[in-house]
Structure 1
Amino acid sequence: MPRIEDAKILIISTMGFEQSELEFPRDQLRAKGATVHVATLDGKPIKGWEGSDWGREAEADARISEVSAADYDALVIPGGQINPDLLRVEDDVLKLVRDFFDAGKTIAAVCHAPWVLVEAGIAKGREMTSYHSIKTDVQNAGAQWVDREVVADNGIVTSRKPDDLKAFVSKIVEEIEEGTHERKAA
């Protein structure tokens, strides 16, 4: 059985991520012993969004185009309105998400980040949640949307908002420790 202490986790993000939705999972997963890297579009630090204005910067470890799903056990995508909207139009991001999916690895998306899963074509037939304002987008992609703090469907973990982050991180740990998930290709 895989252990969180041995896990390598990749967070992908760009400018405008919801501050807590990157920092809380990054810091909590590191505190549990996992190795956590942050990859950005250009490999440079990114600025979060907190409340009604720009927040703190997050360091980057790599460029999204240069990382591989083969090197990680799980993928985490923070929300916010800006971050996932910018990520979902990037071919490198969509390929990376599909690579994690095809390998049966844990993929976790919170708030507006399920937009990226929708765009990558991996939402259909899944039970998922998200921020309420993108419920219709998730349903139109063929997912069954539910209003719960965290939902896991065969290694795909989704949550609604910052208030759900504790449950989100707990479920990520649980799914990683279950190992790879058998899935039909997207």
Structure 2
Amino acid sequence: MAKIAFLTATEGIERVELTEPWDGVKQAGHEPTLLSTESGEVQTFDHLDKAETRPVDKVVGDVSVDDFDALVLPGGVANPDALRTDEDAVAFVKAFVESGKPVAAICHAPWTLVEAGVLDGRTLASWPSLQTDIRNAGGTWKDEEVVVDGNLITSRNPDDIPAFTKSLLDALS
């Protein structure tokens, strides 16, 4: 059983990009943990409409990369935009990528990877509006359902979640 960290800000998380990979990880027998920048609850969204809240398991500043086997970064526009301004979150993401353990980011989530400075020479997918940011960070952007580059697993949008989750689970086996 692997321990999987799901890192989000406190709001703006695209619900299905959190809940569907979370459920896939659980169904495969792994243990998901919701990390956030603050304790309490996080607010998910269905695009621009508020959806459910979820309880935070741990604050990102209180954990170590050594506590987990993989990291998932859900999207939503506001979520990664807030994460990339949080020093603890950015440091955790940078350390996770550098650890060689799987890091899966979907939709707008690669903004946090851009901020962590870990995309030089890497190839990834994302929501199309991030392609210039990815290129400016030294990465190569592809419009593909899922891109696996070493320990980095990325996808474009909620339609890609099945392939995204499968690639994450494959990386854990």
TM range (shorter): over 0.9
Instruction: Map 1:104-183 to 2 at 5 A.
Output: 104-177=100-173
| Aligned-partner residue type, residue 72 of structure 1 | F
| Aligned-partner residue type, residue 127 of structure 2 | Y
CA displacement at 1:123 relative to structure 2:
0.8
CA displacement at 1:59 relative to structure 2:
1.8
Q: Does 1:47 align with 2:61?
A: no
Q: What's the counterpart of residue 12 of structure 1? A: 7
| Aligned-partner residue type, residue 16 of structure 1 | G
Q: Structure 1 residue runs of 4+, over 4 Å off? A: none
Q: Does 1:88 align with 2:84?
A: yes
Unaligned runs of 5+ in 1: 1-5, 178-186
Q: What's the counterpart of residue 21 of structure 2? A: 25
Name the SS of the counterpart of 2:33 in structure 1: strand
Aligned-residue identity in percent: 39
Please report the TM-score for the alignment, with normalisation by the length of structure 1. Answer: 0.90
- Distance in 2, matches of 1:92 and 1:176, equals 25
- Distance in 1, matches of 2:118 and 2:48, equals 31
CA displacement at 1:31 relative to structure 2:
0.9
- Distance in 1, matches of 2:26 and 2:150, equals 24
RMSD: 0.9
Please report the TM-score for the alignment, with normalisation by the length of structure 2. Answer: 0.97
Name the SS of the counterpart of 1:16 in structure 2: strand
- Distance in 1, matches of 2:90 and 2:48, equals 29
- Distance in 2, matches of 1:39 and 1:169, equals 18
Alignment size in residue pairs: 172
Answer whether contact 1:47 1:57 (CA < 8 A) is retained: yes
Unaligned runs of 5+ in 2: none
CA displacement at 1:88 relative to structure 2:
0.5
CA displacement at 1:102 relative to structure 2:
2.1
- Distance in 2, matches of 1:107 and 1:29, equals 14
- Distance in 2, matches of 1:92 and 1:52, equals 27
- Distance in 1, matches of 2:94 and 2:131, equals 22
Q: What's the counterpart of residue 30 of structure 2? A: 34
Identify which of 47, 61, 84 aligns with 2:57: 61
Q: What's the counterpart of residue 184 of structure 1? A: none
- Distance in 2, matches of 1:100 and 1:155, equals 10
